[in-house]
Amino acid sequence: MDARATTTRRNGARSRRGGQPVTLPPPLPGPDVRPLPLADERPGLRREVLPGVVHIPRWLDDAAQAVLATDFRAWARPPAGLRHPRVPTGHLMSVQSVCLGWHWSPYAYSRTADDTDGAPVKSMPDHVVRLGRDAVAATFGPAAGDAYHPDAAIVNLYPPGARLGLHQDGEEPAAAPVVTISLGDTCTFRTAGVDRRTGPFVDVELRSGDLLVFGGPNRRIFHGVPKVRPGTAPDGLGLPPGRLSLTLRETGLD
């Protein structure tokens, strides 16, 4: 198969202008990670938001969040580093993104960072694969976790003012669940429907350490992030201002 995967949107068309590389500022010195109060949500409490859409607050503890924040800084460095992706119409996305396993740019997968330096995409670390399998086991049961084999990660940084419009994760032939882990600032995660991007909406507040997995009848649900609340991240996490999301997918690509 061609290293670039044909997709369900725009047949994999891309902007000729490519993405815009981003260099992260160094982490600010700070205290150890201190989580924000959890309000009425209890850590580890499984909640099915919609059929096949499961939220677990504070699924990752402070130490595990700090490990991923450190990992992100290494992944963000070139080659195949952090960039603002650009959609085929030429619009530069407000989120910043780096990929593991497969490189995703709107709207195609490839094995190289074709929208920036053309370097081979960074591999999926074993501990990230295990994290994805543990996430599916926690939401859909041990058998589902054993059957899950994530081979792509899209790691998005939402700097202040960034948002993500409603969209489907539709480039993957596989119907395996999508795993999203949140770090940093709290966001509003919005879902619509499988066959519509209009309301009524179901919104979920995702805080640092939260897990959201969607699969089954809502694997292709339209979803997005209309709002990130600045200044709500735990102290000392080591991330730039904003929200970081780690989204794991089993693509079904060769």
CATH number, domain containing residue 200 = 2.60.120.590
Alpha-carbon gap, residue 38 to 35, rounded angstroms: 8
| Strand residue runs (E) in the chain | 20-21, 47-50, 53-56, 83-84, 96-100, 103-105, 108-110, 152-158, 164-167, 178-184, 186-191, 202-206, 211-214, 223-229, 243-249
pLDDT less than 50: residues of the chain = 1-8, 33-40
209 in a domain, yes or no?
A: yes
pLDDT at site 254: 86
Half-sphere exposure of residue 77: CA atoms within 13 angstroms, side-chain side? 5
Q: What are phi and psi of 12, to 5 degrees?
A: 80, 15
Alpha-carbon gap, residue 248 to 4, rounded angstroms: 19
Alpha-carbon gap, residue 112 to 175, rounded angstroms: 24
pLDDT at site 28: 63
239 in a domain, yes or no?
A: yes
129 in a domain, yes or no?
A: yes
pLDDT at site 233: 95
139 in a domain, yes or no?
A: yes
Residue 150, SS3?
A: coil
The number of distinct structural domains making up the chain is 1
Contact predicate 57/73, CB 8 Å = no
Q: Which residues contact 90 (CB under 8 A, 6 or more apart)?
A: 15, 17
pLDDT at site 124: 97
The two beta strands, 96-100 and 152-158, are antiparallel
Entry pTM: 0.88
57 in a domain, yes or no?
A: yes
Q: In what helix (H) or strand (E) does residue 62 lie, and over which residues does it extend?
A: helix 62-76
pLDDT at site 26: 80
pLDDT at site 41: 56
212 in a domain, yes or no?
A: yes
Q: Which domain holds residue 112?
A: 48-249
58 in a domain, yes or no?
A: yes
Give residue for tokens 């309301």: 199
Provide the CA 7 distance to its chain's centre, in angstroms.
19
Q: How far is CA 63 from CA 11, 85, 136, 225, in A?
A: 41, 30, 21, 26
Q: What are phi and psi of 139, to 5 degrees?
A: -100, -35
12 in a domain, yes or no?
A: no
